A and B are shown apart, each in its own frame.
Chain A
Amino acid sequence: MTGTDVLVEVRDLKVHFPIKRGVLFDRTIGHVKAVDGVDLRIPRGQTYGLVGESGCGKSTLGRALLQLTPPTTGEVNFDGVELTTLPAGKLRAMRRRMQMIFQDPMSSLDPRQNVESILTEGLHTHGIGGNRDERRKIIAETLDKVGLPRWALSRYPHEFSGGQRQRIGIARALVLGPELIVADEPVSALDVSIQAQVINLLDELQDSLGLTYLVIAHDLAVVRHISDIVGVMYLGGLVEEAPSDRLYTEPLHPYTRALMSAVPVPDPDVEDRRERILLAGDLPSPANPPSGCRFHTRCPWAQPTRCADERPVLREVGESRVACHFAEQIASGELRPHQVQVQIVRPEGEGEEPDVVSAPSEPGSFV
């Protein structure tokens, strides 16, 4: 990926949330390492897909990239501008160039705003469009782009179907004319037949507007469909990064292989033939991640040497980057998978939503 025009570069990004307990005074008793040292580059005009299971830190990474969650350490370079050290006022102005699409189209739209007001808010904030007529023109064009009718303007979010609401969310992001769009699970709350509409819309918009996407999703099939480059995350770190097609044909990291084999394919012939790698147990807690390779507790190829005590770095193997000590030996078949003893994992909080991981941030922060 050298030589291409890079829009976003993330270096050694870490987001740690303090865990606070205490009766009278809150004491920090540890940290949830939601994102723990991630490097990635997003080439201009392309789609970077970030895939991983809940709690792997992919959503936090997306928000930290946009500085919506302050990173603990690390650098985020957007088109030559370092975002982590940017003063608040300049950062707000930069937001015009980088927008976000959310998972739940209902909760990401203010229920008391009608569509016109939702779309105008960003224009007002950045002083785009001198007068009312000009703003109306921009909004009308945006509605056309996302395939919403004009009569939508006076309507409120609760009057639309899920797919249409997501189109409103996309329109809100587009109206500012951004270069980068971070889409956090853009289709997972939608019905199957609507998912395809939104995926196609995102594709079309990229073609016509030259947008750069960071698509975050748990569904590998969706990510692979929409992305040029796919990064696989496990417990706060990237374990593999490869061009979309290569990731499918030649997965190198054991976790990628397991993930791939677990995704159901709507084709009985494929389903009956394919080899399954069933992972034992659950995702360990990001507050207390395993030593060495984070995946070694569940890895069917884990070796007694290195895996438990040396954290593998992302290194280039062919066109891919992979964080596994034994990627080559596994690919060549030299190492064989073995049985893994299940380790009991205690749930952190009540659920397993990625939100829970970000919950211990500051209570009630607008950021």
Chain B
Amino acid sequence: MTIISGKKREKIDRLAELAAREEERGVSLWQDAFRRLRRNPAAIVGAVILTIFVLVAVVGPFFVPYGPTDTMGIREGVVRVGQGLIPGHSAEHWLGYDHQGRDVFSRMVVGARQTLLVGVVSTLIGLSIGALIGGLAGAAAGLGGRWGRWVDATLMRFIDMLLAMPSLLLAVSIAALLGPSLTTVMIAVGMVSVPVFARLLRGSMIVQSHSDYVLAATSLGVRKSKIALTHVLPNSLAPVIVQATLTLATAIIEAAALSYLGLGNPDSAVPEWGVMLADAQPWLGIRPALAIYPAVAIIITALGFTLLGEAMREALDPKLRK
């Protein structure tokens, strides 16, 4: 027999239900991860960097003060390379001229768009091909049976072959095959990341296919192919998404490296940070800033993607879930 007054009892009951009833609707894992992401300072910094970068890349080129290919410095006689004269920043030209008398600020802004394009497209190439191969292999390995194992083994040996080739060599051979262009750079950088995505997704799917909820679905009588598609695949995507974010950062750097080696767009009229860095090399003695601007831009952008990627890895980590 327990005696308790109404008001106090209400209070106890309310407290007991508090934790469970905070919100009316459930919070899915993605929402939960997003909440944790918002609380992480690293994620915020990364997101701010990337927002600025994307904004500049998308709308910046419409507002640049000068044409990126306008060699006005030579025309006006301000830039005289032969005499080692490349003027630095001024009120009209915020970042000064380059060796061909073009406005560096305008080139940086327009270059941002190229850089974003290279990063996103090459990552998408790597992600889609890699995820396709890895997903097929993972599903085949999970389905089991002789045929499934054979498909898995064949696909993975192909991936091993890709992995065995040094990435730069692979890129150079692709570039040699297709001729230097921006498309070449994107395909080359994308192909390099294919094995990473393929192995990651396959491994993740195999781990997931061992889990109890897959067994539970099997015991419900759900078809194997449906289990692979509705349970295994969605639960294996988190590390792939994190990797994609991190790959964006390396893709930008690798694209810059390939452009630097002269495998990028031969038409240097279209500015790209990697090309700008390469072009600045002969003038390091006269005006090192020409190399520093694109280098710093590449580093900061890559940092932004890395920060966000690492924060996403933390937010999606099931071990950190409460």
Beyond A100-B219, A112-B234, A125-B221, whether A367 also contacts B27 by CB under 8 A is no
Chain A positions 102 through 123: 1 when the CB is less than 8 Å from some CB of chain B, otherwise 0: 1110011111101100000110
Rounded to whole angstroms, the CA-CA distance of A363 and B206 in the bound complex is 8
- Expressed in whole angstroms, the Cα–Cα distance for A112 and B290 within the complex equals 50
- Given known pairs A112-B29, A156-B26, the reply for A366 and B142 (CB within 8 Å) is yes
Whole-angstrom CA separation of A103 from B215 in the bound complex: 12
- Given A365-B144, A366-B227, A111 and B29 contact (CB-CB distance below 8 Å): yes
15 contacts between A and B (CB under 8 A): A99-B219, A99-B220, A100-B216, A109-B216, A125-B220, A126-B221, A151-B24, A156-B26, A158-B29, A159-B26, A169-B216, A172-B216, A364-B209, A366-B227, A367-B144
Q: Is the CB of B220 within 8 A of A176?
A: yes
Interface size of B by Cβ–Cβ distance < 8 Å? 42
Q: Which residue of A lies closest to B17 (CB)?
A: A149
In the bound complex, do residue A104 and residue B212 qualify as a contact, i.e. CB atoms below 8 Å apart? yes
**Chain A CB within 10 A, most for which of B217, B227, B231, B232:** B217
CB pair A125–B26 under 8 Å, yes or no, is no
Could you tell me the distance in whole angstroms from the C-beta of B235 to the nearest C-beta in chain A?
6
**Closest chain B CB from A15 CB (angstroms):** 15
Please state if A364 and B210 are interface contacts (CB–CB under 8 Å): yes
Contacts A96-B221, A110-B231; A366 near B26 (Cβ below 8 A): no
Tell whether A29 is near chain B: CB-to-CB under 8 Å. Answer: no
16 more contacts with CB within 8 A, not counting A115-B26, A156-B26, are A96-B221, A99-B220, A102-B215, A107-B211, A107-B212, A114-B26, A121-B217, A151-B24, A154-B25, A154-B26, A158-B321, A364-B141, A364-B142, A366-B144, A366-B218, A366-B228
Q: For the complex, is B318 an interface residue (Cβ under 8 Å from A)?
A: yes
Contacts of A156 in B (CB 8 A): 26-29
A111-B235 contact in complex given A364-B141, A366-B142, C-beta closer than 8 Å:
yes
Q: Does A315 contact B (CB under 8 A)?
A: no
Q: How large is the interface on A (under 10, 10 to 19, 20 to 34, 35 or more residues)?
A: 35 or more
For residue B135, give the distance in angstroms from its CB to the closest CB of chain A.
13
Chain B residues contacting A110 (CB-CB under 8 Å) are 213, 217, 231, 235
CA of A95 to CA of B223, assembled, Å: 12
Q: A107-B212, A112-B29 are in contact. Are A367 and B218 (CB under 8 A)?
A: yes
A86 contacts partner chain B, Cβ-Cβ < 8 Å:
no
Q: Taking the complex as formed, is B78 at the interface, i.e. its CB lies under 8 A from any CB of chain A?
A: no
Task: Specify which chain A residues have a CB less than 8 angstroms from the CB of B144 in the assembled complex.
Answer: 362, 364-367
Closest to B322 in A: A158
In the complex, which residue of chain A has the Cβ closest to the Cβ of B217? Answer: A121
Shortest C-beta distance, B89 to chain A (Å), equals 52
**Are the CB atoms of B142 and A365 closer together than 8 Å?**
yes
The 3 closest A-B pairs by CB, nearest first: A155-B26, A95-B221, A108-B212
A66, A93, A363: most-surrounded residue (chain B CB, <10 A)? A363
Tell me which residues across on chain A come within 8 A of B24, comparing CB atoms. Answer: 151, 154
B36 within 8 A of A: no
Residue from the set B28, B219, B318, B321 with the largest chain A CB neighbour count within 10 Å: B219
Interface centre among A94, A104, A364 (most CB of B within 10 A): A364
B151 an interface residue at 8 Å Cβ cutoff? no
Known: A156-B28, A159-B26. A102 touches B216 (CB 8 A): yes
Q: Quick one: closest B residue to A114, CB to CB?
A: B26
**Contact (A365, B212) CB under 8 Å given A112-B29, A114-B26:** no
Tell me if A159 and B223 are in contact (CB < 8 A): no
C-alpha spacing A182/B240, complex, angstroms: 36
Segment 77-103 of A: residues with Cβ below 8 Å from B: 92-96, 98-100, 102-103
